[in-house]
Amino acid sequence: MVSTKWGSSLAAHIYLLLFSHLAGRAAAAPTTSSPSSSSYRAETLTAVKALQSWYNPSTGLWNTAGWWNSANCLQVLADWTMTDNSSATTLINVPGIMQNTFTKAQQTTVSTQKTVSARTGHITSTYTLQAKHIHGNSRRGFSGFINDFYDDEGWWALALIRSWDATRNAGYLATAESIFADMVNGTDAVCGGGVWWSKARKYKNAIANELYLSVAAALARRVPDAGRRARYLQTAKDQWGWFRRSGMINGESLINDGLTIKEDGSCVNNGAQTWSYNQGVVLGGLVELAYATGDVGYVREAVPIAVAAVKKLTTTVDGVVVIREVDRCEPDCGLDGPQFKGVFVRNLGYLVVAVSTAPERVLKGAIEANARSVWNRDRESGTNRLGISWAGPVSAGQGPNASTHSSAMDVLVAARGVAGLSPRGLGMGMWKVEEGESGSEGAKV
Ligand SMILES: *[C@@H]1O[C@H](CO)[C@@H](O)[C@H](O)[C@H]1NC(C)=O
Ligand SMILES: *[C@@H]1O[C@H](CO)[C@@H](O)[C@H](O)[C@H]1NC(C)=O
Ligand SMILES: *[C@@H]1O[C@H](CO)[C@@H](O)[C@H](O)[C@H]1NC(C)=O
């Protein structure tokens, strides 16, 4: 059933063509079984150590990464743990880092301001961090990981769910549930459904709604109570039903930033940038939904988005074929932008694990090619810090920081995850959480 679905697919042919030249460059790494993938283990471990050079134990956050970016730093550590638990626990003590971040991050006073540039569509978050000092009066931080932005809440919920996958610490899953309860309160009937970006209730955008889908679908497979699992599943299905009709997915299967609410109350695609992360989180959400329901139709709906996004984002930079953020914003994509590409590739990795078809091989090739470029061209010698431009040089923009590094690390971890060499690869550990499940191939499409 694999080949019949995709053998005649025009999209598959287009993207095989697109990547044939890319695969040609990648002589050392065939896309089906990559002999170099075993070395991603050492490379990724090295990158984890570099990431931790920014870790601030007193805030539980990563210096130079703001609030939501730090959730993504936590998530890449959790994803990595799923591929290399022994290194994560014995060499790095990821469970200890998770526990510390869980405790300290929500006590850290963070003031957040976000603005969207009307001219460029860039989102800029400004965070002021201050580690809470113990004595009574100082203001609580984002207690329970709740703040004014539903997207920030979603990032933390997902990172805590992955942390639960890696450790089975029940507190992480329970907190993800309480975060989601707050997100549910951010939904209403404006635009026919969906969650607002923030508690100011002015903008319904893609990222908050993709996170809402992903968190609901992830909880639907993990929480212990059957009644709550069923409710999360219904919420996730309803959310996807709304999202796909919302207008945010354009005619090229790409997702624009959000919706414009017109005078008459109707809502239309606002035509703003198709940021990479907007093409990413939805993939992970649909994969979760496919596993939660056993319905591979959700994965089928994800594939065209992934394929269109890889095509859109893949660019030749100084002769090197890599994924680059839309809008040619690199190397200056603001404080938030450097995180986006990693989010995309992470979720692309989840999708690749869930399919076993022609697009899977092509998409996997894209992940591996980017991983090689990150490692070979975008790494600072000595520190092993990774920069914003995956084609290099690592000094691009203001040089590497925790956001550029964790984002590039997502590529290394995804490459390792899709290589299928790990006994607890992303497929088995990340997605196949039910007892007794097996099969690193994931769902067949
Ligand atoms: C990871 O390794 C630690 C230490 O060896 C072990 O206690 C734990 O059960 C492992 N976790 C998983 C999810 O395999
Ligand atoms: C839920 O959202 C409404 C705004 O629609 C707000 O007034 C209310 O305080 C929120 N409830 C909780 C528990 O946050
Ligand atoms: C991290 O580096 C990127 C690329 O140079 C830059 O756009 C971003 O502003 C930096 N972040 C911080 C907090 O300096």
Phi-psi region of 267 (alpha: psi -120 to 50; beta: other; left: phi over 0): beta
Let me know: does 180 contact 215? Beta carbons within 8 Å. yes
Quote the pLDDT of residue 127. 62
Quote the pLDDT of residue 432. 35
Regions of the chain with pLDDT less than 50: 1-35, 131-139, 421-445
Contacts of 249-256 with CB under 8 Å at 24 or more apart are: 249/305, 250/274, 252/308, 252/312, 253/304, 253/305, 253/307, 253/308, 254/279, 254/305, 254/308, 254/309, 254/312, 255/206, 255/210, 255/279, 255/282, 255/305, 256/206
- Cα(211) to centroid of ligand 2, in Å? 20
Quote the pLDDT of residue 362. 84
Residue linked to tokens 């002999």: 35
Element (H, E) at 106: none
Which atom number of ligand 3 is nearest to the Cα of residue 402? 1
Q: How far apart are the first and last CA of the chain?
A: 7
Nearest to 171 by CA among 181, 161, 180: 161
Ligand number nearest CA of 187 is: 2
Helix (H, G, I), strand (E, B) or coil at 261: strand
Q: How far is CA 44 from the centre of its chain?
A: 17
Let me know: does 221 contact 433? Beta carbons within 8 Å. yes
The angle that helices 10-25 and 297-313 make with each other, rounded to 10 degrees, is: 50
Quote the pLDDT of residue 286. 96
Shortest-distance Cα residue to atom 10 of ligand 1: 85
Quote the pLDDT of residue 440. 33
Ligand number nearest CA of 81 is: 1
- Cα(325) to centroid of ligand 3, in Å? 14
Cβ–ligand 3 contact at 388 (below 6 Å): yes
Helix (H, G, I), strand (E, B) or coil at 93: coil
Q: How far is residue 388's CA from residue 404's CA, in Å, rounded to a whole number?
A: 5
- Cα(42) to centroid of ligand 1, in Å? 19
Let me know: does 238 contact 285? Beta carbons within 8 Å. no
Dihedral, CA of residue 360, residue 285, residue 322 and residue 380, to nearest 10: -120
**E strand segments, 171-302:** 259-261, 267-269
- Cα(162) to centroid of ligand 3, in Å? 26
Neighbours of 434 (CB within 10 A): 9
Quote the pLDDT of residue 65. 93
DSSP bridge partners of 323? 314
- Cα(75) to centroid of ligand 3, in Å? 19
- Is the torsion defined by CA of 221, 6, 30, 275 positive or negative? negative
Q: Report residues whose beta carbon is within 6 angstroms of any ligand 1 atom.
A: 85, 89
Q: How far is residue 393's CA from residue 378's CA, in Å, rounded to a whole number?
A: 5
- Cα(199) to centroid of ligand 2, in Å? 9
Which atom number of ligand 3 is nearest to the Cα of residue 333? 7
Give Cα separations from 70 to 18, 145, 405, 424 (angstroms).
34, 12, 11, 25
Residue linked to tokens 């591979």: 296
Nearest to 121 by CA among 299, 325, 295: 325
Per-residue burial over 299-336, b = 16 or more CB atoms within 10 Å of its CB, e = otherwise? bbbbbbbbbbbbbbbbbebeebbbbbbbbebbbebebb
Cβ–ligand 3 contact at 125 (below 6 Å): no
- Is the torsion defined by CA of 100, 133, 58, 76 positive or negative? positive
Quote the pLDDT of residue 355. 81
Q: How far is residue 198's CA from residue 209's CA, in Å, rounded to a whole number?
A: 11
Quote the pLDDT of residue 417. 86
Dihedral, CA of residue 51, residue 92, residue 218 and residue 146, to nearest 10: -60
Q: How far is residue 7's CA from residue 1's CA, in Å, rounded to a whole number?
A: 10
Look up the pTM and report it. 0.86
Shortest-distance Cα residue to atom 4 of ligand 3: 397
Quote the pLDDT of residue 105. 96
pLDDT digits (tens, 9 = 90+) for 139-187: 457 899 999 999 999 999 999 999 999 999 999 999 999 999 999 999 9
- Cα(167) to centroid of ligand 1, in Å? 7
Which of 81, 87, 89, 422 to mutate for ligand 1's pocket (most ligand atoms within 8 Å of CB)? 89
Quote the pLDDT of residue 418. 85
Cβ–ligand 3 contact at 256 (below 6 Å): no
Tokens representing 182 are: 């707050």
What is the DSSP code string of 341-356?
A: HHHHHHHHHHHHHH--
Quote the pLDDT of residue 118. 65
Q: How far is residue 379's CA from residue 403's CA, in Å, rounded to a whole number?
A: 14
Nearest to 240 by CA among 274, 219, 216: 216
Shortest-distance Cα residue to atom 1 of ligand 3: 401
